[in-house]
Every structure is written in structure tokens, then in C-alpha cells.
Amino acid sequence: MGILPYVLVSLIATLTIVHAATVIGHPRIRINPNLSFLPLLVVSTVVAGLRYQTGGDWETYQFWFEEFSDQTVLSFGVEPGWILYSLALRFAGASFDTYVLITAILSNLLIWYGLSRVLTDRKVAILCFGFYCLIVFYSAQMFYVRAGLAAGLFLWAVAVSRGSKPKAFLLVLVAMSLHVGVALAALIYASLRVAVRHRLSTLVVLGLLASLFAVFSSQFLPEVYVTGEFADERTLSVKAVFGVALLATVVARLPDFVARFSPEAAALAIAALTIPYLFDSFEVGGRARMFFSPLDGLPIYFLVLSLAGRRYLTLPLAAASVGFAYLYWSNPYVQELFIPYRTWLPSLI
């Protein structure tokens, strides 16, 4: 099938972003955003769930699925929650292909549920889900498969923390049992959540976190620090400059950002902006980005809103969506992982 499924997801995601931006900017236009969002939710889930030998995780997860046993829950070297989840599906009679499909369905639904509860404005949540499907969806659900499921639980925990800290803590523990990177994400989020109501305290916390991870990496993980997953992104690229512009906008107008969205959304968005550049020296840091990536679109939306105003959101956000799709798919490593797309559906015929 080549690249057709990816083109379809990108087109529907861009349409979803344009649709949500138009409805936000022009409230009199009463076109239900679900008309574009629901197809995106379905198509992205199908693309992730029906793949066959496609994505960076395929052989590893297939090997784990076949080798997990109740005797190795604590000794296999993989998070015990993920082993139990895999064993439960295998016990229910699921094949590996069905297992991938069920995981894609649960991951997308949990991420949307968490995103829609963190961002109480459904139209903004839909817009962010569109950007998520353009930027990190493939990595989270077709590479680091556990991260997609854990990210949904983590976002749910953040939303729940407004009313019930014990329930939020329990959800974080469950997410950690699926992916240990949630522990790092929770540390970063909790630190920023405490500081996010004030610009200075936010910058101080970011500086302290960056220093902590830099010192840790230089002392204990020097090779990872030099050749880590996002090492090439420390250079002054277009993406890095845009990331700095987004962070500067959010920090400069932090009180407005917090009031417009929420302190929780602000902490998540700032973490999504800074992790690739400040915390990637710690090996799990790159993976920790996955737990914040559903909020990637929020700073982009806020920047355009600040510069152009609500009535002129559509064209800049459409241009941003096309630009992000191009940046992602122009990466040779991404092309090697995901192209050509293959599915197991023909085996049913």
C-alpha cells in the first residue's frame, strides 16, 4: 500500500485542524467538528492497528508476545504491567495481529479521553489531536507501542488530579507498570505544575531540571548524552528555532495561557516543548516526550492566536500542519521505519 495510509491520515488530520480552527474563529459557523474528528480517530486507529511488519517495534513486540509467561512477569526485563496485559490478551485467544489492533484502539481512545479532559474546550482538544496525529502519533503507536497506552493513562491522571490526588496517583502507577518512562514524565510534570503560575519560577524549575539531567548524564551516561535519540536536534535547526519561539511565547504570556487553558495544560505544554532539547540526554527522556506529545498543538495554536487573532487562525494553522507533516516524513529514518506500509488484511482473503 506504499504511503497511501499515511497520506490519508495526514490529509484528514489537516482537515480536522482546519475545521476546528474555523469553528473556533467563527462561532457562527455551526459545522460539528466531529465530522472531521471521528474519521481521523477511526482512520488513525485502523492504520496503527492493521499494520503488518511495519514500524520499528514489530519484531521486538512479536517476540515478547510469544515469549511472555506467568513465570517471567518479574524477571523478563519488561514492565510487569505490559507482560500481564499481553498475557491477558493471549489467554483470551488473541493473535499478535489482533493484539496490535486492540492496543491501537485502546491507546487512541485513552489519549483522546485524557486530552479532552485536560482541555475542557472540545474544539481545542480536537485541534490538538489533529496535530498529535501529524507529529508523534506514528512514533507513539507504531514504534514505542507501550508509550501510546501509557500516555493516555498519564493524561487521564493529570485530569483526575484536579479533584482526586489518590486516584491520579493510582493511574500513574498503572501507567508506570506499562512504561517506566512515566516516572520521569511525572517528575517533570509535577515540578512544572508547582511553578507554572509564575514566569520566574517556571524558568527556574526548567533550569534546575535541565541541570539535573545534564549532570546525571555526563556522569553516568556520557555516550547517551553525545549520541542520544535526539542528539542531532540540539543543533540550530528550523524545528529548534520554532520550538524556542513557541516556548518564549508561552512563558512571556504565561498568565494568559494558564487562564485560557489551565495550569495542568500549561505544565504539559511546556514539558512537550522542552523535553526534546533539555532532557533528551537521559535515555528515557526521549521516550518521556511521548507522554506530553498530545499537547504539542496547544502552543502552536496559542502562538497563532496571539499573533493573528481568533478570526485568522485557519490559514496559519493549515500551513503549520503541512509544514509539520513535511518535516516528519522527510526524515530518512522515519521513511525506513514506516514505508512501505503493509497490512495483514490480505491474509484473510
* Percent of the chain topping pLDDT 90: 52
24 and 314 Cβ atoms separated by less than 8 Å: no
- Judge whether residue 228 has pLDDT over 60: no
Domain of 292? 4-348
* Percent of the chain topping pLDDT 70: 88
- Judge whether residue 309 has pLDDT over 60: yes
Amino acid at 246: L
pLDDT value at residue 267: 94
pLDDT digits (tens, 9 = 90+) for 101-141: 999 999 999 999 999 999 989 999 999 999 999 988 888 88
Nearest to 85 by CA among 116, 109, 61, 108: 61
* Average pLDDT across the chain, whole number: 86
> Within the chain, what is the greatest distance between any pair of CA atoms?
62
Q: Which residue has the higher pLDDT, 177 or 73?
A: 177
Q: What is the number of structural domains in the chain?
A: 1
pLDDT value at residue 276: 66
pLDDT value at residue 229: 47
pLDDT value at residue 349: 66
Amino acid at 263: P
How far apart are alpha carbons 104 and 144 in whole angstroms?
Answer: 12
What band does 327 get if pLDDT is binned at 50, 70 and 90?
confident
* Average pLDDT of the residues in 174-182: 92
Nearest to 83 by CA among 107, 102, 67: 67
How far apart are alpha carbons 73 and 78 in whole angstroms?
Answer: 8
pLDDT value at residue 233: 47
Q: Which residue has the higher pLDDT, 52 or 347?
A: 52
pLDDT value at residue 285: 53
* Average pLDDT of the residues in 320-344: 87
Cell of 217: 548524564
Q: Residue 340: left (phi > 0), alpha (psi -120 to 50), or beta?
A: beta
Residue 340: asked if its preceding bond is cis (omega within 30°), the reply is yes
pLDDT value at residue 195: 92
pLDDT value at residue 258: 94
